[in-house]
Structure 1
Amino acid sequence: MDNNKPIYVTQPALPDLQEFIPYLEKIWDNKILTNNGPFHMQLEKALAEFLEVPFVSLFANGTLALIVALRALNITGEVITTPYSFVATSHSLLWNNIKPVFVDIEPNSCNIDSEKIEKAITKRTTAILPVHVYGNPCQTERIQEIANTYKLKVIYDAAHAFGVKQNGKNICTHGDLSALSFHATKVFNTMEGGAIVSHSASTKKKIDYLKNHGFFNETKVKTLGLNSKMNEMQSALGLLQLKNFHQNIQKRKRITQLYQKELEKIKGISFIVNTASTEPNFTYFPIFVNKNEYGMTRDDLFKKLKKNNIFARRYFYPLISNFPMYKSIESARSSNLPEADKIAENVICLPIFSELDLNSVYRIIDIIKNKDA
């Protein structure tokens, strides 16, 4: 084992290059690079079947999927969301001239605290934008109850949740829409990419107008749209990636189980445990450092790992609510978000990816165990 070899927090899973070449040859032969080419159409169909959802619309990336999802449902005014996510979640609101209203999180899941949503609803609230953080399912039933009571839309940021199931159903069956990310860091990637899961043909049609400049047909622009289409190379890669998805998840599962087995013995180190009803995708492995019990701070451990060529990530730190464009929002105050603040100060995501060998995992565990080393 090479103890000097750097280990990064993630590494993209890629198919064998030789498998990809025939797809590229077809693209070169038919000269269709974008605009709903054959691989694009195949991938939309394949993903809908794989995820067991009615409709999938592909996007160039997950951020554009979020922006269009909000526009597709005519969301305005205020939207209730979480401060504990990647900044794209809230940026998609600002891009649509919508005010984010931040609600604190549950410490056991890091998801939005569904019992605190109602208190944040005002006359200007039109939707809820929860995040399945680290792929952990939100309290979907409770969130839907609230949405039904107050006639709100629900759009899930499911960037982390590709393939996750709850009670045997894919997590993307919940809400009005779900936005997925296929970024290189995700368990299913198309280099860059994303998608919106919708539940009616009319909604999909509107989404597809919006992602293609608003074109209704060759000459008619029906609505204000963007250019956010996925290209043929991304789509072709996605078709190949689906073949290896379950195999890659099993590799991640073994790594997760090893982390859990060894780290549960360490006082002051805790992690999220999936519920029995969840079929996870093992996309991240966050740990939480209790300074008083562990004997060093999260940042001390982060620096120690880095010194040993282990490049973990403080994810999510800082909170979205601490970025300059959000600080003036009343709900962004730390006093409103005590649990999110605490988690953000204590979290480290450890390396996990399908090709991470178990010797390297043991190396990471040993560094965490040996606090004085």
Structure 2
Amino acid sequence: MINVTKTFLPPQVEYQAFLKKAWDKHWLTNRGELVLELESQLKKDLRLNNLTLTANGTLPLQIAIKALSLKGEIITTPFSYVATTSSIVWEGCKPVFVDIHPKYLTIDETKIEAAISANTSAILATHVFGNPCHVEVIEAIAKKHQLKVIYDAAHCFGVNYKGESIFNYGDVSTCSFHATKLFHTGEGGCWITKSAELNKKMFYYHNFGHCGEAEFFDVGINAKMSELHAAMGLAVLPYVKKLIEERENIVNTYNAELRNLNLRTLTIREDTVWNSSYYPIILKDETILLKLIGLLKEHNINTRRYFYPSLNTLNYIDQTEMPISDDISKRVLCLPIYNGLSIPQVNIITGLIKKIVK
């Protein structure tokens, strides 16, 4: 069986060495030694000032909306994981969709201003498959219209844009450390912000609203990462560079084998150092996509229709037509990519693709 992804697990003895620190102190949650150590290491490695670990990658989106006091409408992308939209709705705001760029698959920055109304409070955009949005244009639009910017950077661990971490853009960036991600903590995530004041506010919100032992800043939620998850992150982190290099080799093989076929691959935005986190292909039409999925399944190869369906079709929002996102979501397919996937296995996959796609 070849799955679309597979969790990287560090040597068990290395994970257990970190766990022992928690065992010895009988401290499993409430921001113990391991959480603090992982935060410190991530800030150092990624050159970030403020980063706070969380229990998953969705909670930081919700907390960011809350901490930025966003109301009314939030402009967002229909081509993302459902958590991007559901976080907006969960916090009592209305998602207003803007279609995506047909080349980069990120929100089309040229269409954002037309969607701004008197009720717009923010832009929540996704760096799709680790591919950065046009952050300079979005920043200019936000500044002009006095809007906040949140980036869903769930796929972006290790991505640099114009020489710095993509996490450094926007009022808040969030990341997922789910087990399927390049860098993971089993289950987890984080937020990043350049504002120390906003970081403090979000920190209070993620700890039940505590701003002291018996004092409360506001209503809060429990979004803290446990020591057990931080231990996994500390054990995985030393391998990230090697993991990215291995994935780059897989990507290069896919690119070489699929070069002359009637399909599209992801176009990475200029000035980006990408992390090779996903390998999506865009097929001619949905009929060919379904045939390909069927053939691959016959050979015990699992793929994923990611992202599908387009989020503007969700049943709990005002549905609107997004022609490009609607179209691409029906034709996009993520191929297997994970550490441990061999080049001969990649060749088997591409060989089967060639039987369907001419």
For 1:101, which of 96, 102, 126 is the aligned residue? Answer: 96
Deviation at 1:169, TM superposition (A): 1.1
Q: Which residue of 2 aligns with 1:365?
A: 350
Q: 1:339 corresponds to which residue?
A: 324
Aligned residues: 358
Give the one of 67, 73, 97 matched to 1:72.
67
Using the TM superposition, give the Cα deviation of residue 371 of structure 1 relative to its aligned residue in structure 2, in angstroms.
2.5
Matched, 1:63 2:66: no
**Aligned to 2:155, which of 153, 160, 173?**
160
Identify the residue that residue 307 of structure 1 maps to in structure 2: 298
Paired residue secondary structure (2:16):
helix
Aligned pairs (5 A) from 1:219-234: 219-234=214-229
Shift of 1:201: 2.0
Instruction: Give the Cα separation in 2 of the matches to 1:275 and 1:154.
Output: 19
**How far, CA to CA, are the matches of 1:192 and 1:47 in structure 2?**
16
Q: Does 1:185 align with 2:180?
A: yes
Q: Deviations over 1:103-134 (max 9, x none)?
A: 00011111000000000000010000000000
Which amino acid in the other structure matches residue 272 of structure 2? T
Q: Deviations over 1:131-176 (max 9, x none)?
A: 0000001000000000000000000000011110111111011110
SS of 2:129 mapped into structure 1:
helix
**Which residue of 266, 272, 278 maps to 2:272?**
278
Indicate which of 269, 292, 302 corresponds to 2:263: 269
Alpha-carbon shift at residue 209 of structure 1 (Å): 0.6
Q: Once the 2 structures are TM-superposed, how far is the Cα of residue 208 of structure 1 from its aligned partner? A: 1.0
Amino acid across the alignment from 2:284 = N
RMSD over aligned Cα atoms: 1.4
Aligned counterparts, 1:103-142, within 5 A = 103-142=98-137
Q: Which runs of 4+ in 1 moved over 2 A?
A: 273-276
The Cα of 1:291 is off from its aligned counterpart by 3.8
**Structure 1 unmatched ranges of 5 or more:** 1-5
Distance 1:137 1:218 in 2: 40
* 2:344 maps to amino acid: N
**What is the percent sequence identity of the aligned residues?**
42
TM-score (norm 2): 0.98
Alpha carbons 2:30, 2:224 under 8 Å: kept: yes
Q: CA deviation at 1:21?
A: 1.2
Q: Who is 1:3 aligned against?
A: none
Shift of residue 313, structure 1, vs aligned partner: 0.4
The one-letter code sitting in structure 1 at the alignment partner of 2:81 is F
Distance 1:288 1:301 in 2: 12
**Equivalence for 1:37:** 32
2: CA distance, partners of 1:91 / 1:239: 30
Matching residue of 1:81: 76
In 2: Cα distance, 1:291 partner to 1:20 partner: 45
Q: How much does 1:264 deviate?
A: 1.0
TM-score (normalizing by structure 1): 0.94
Unaligned runs of 5+ in 2: none
Q: Residues 197-216 of structure 1 correspond to what in structure 2 (within 5 A)?
A: 197-216=192-211
Q: Which moved more, 1:269-278 or 1:153-162?
A: 269-278
Question: Post-superposition shift, 1:308?
Answer: 1.4
Amino acid at match of 1:86: Y
Match of 1:323 among 311, 314, 318: 314
1:276, distance to aligned residue in structure 2 (A): 4.4
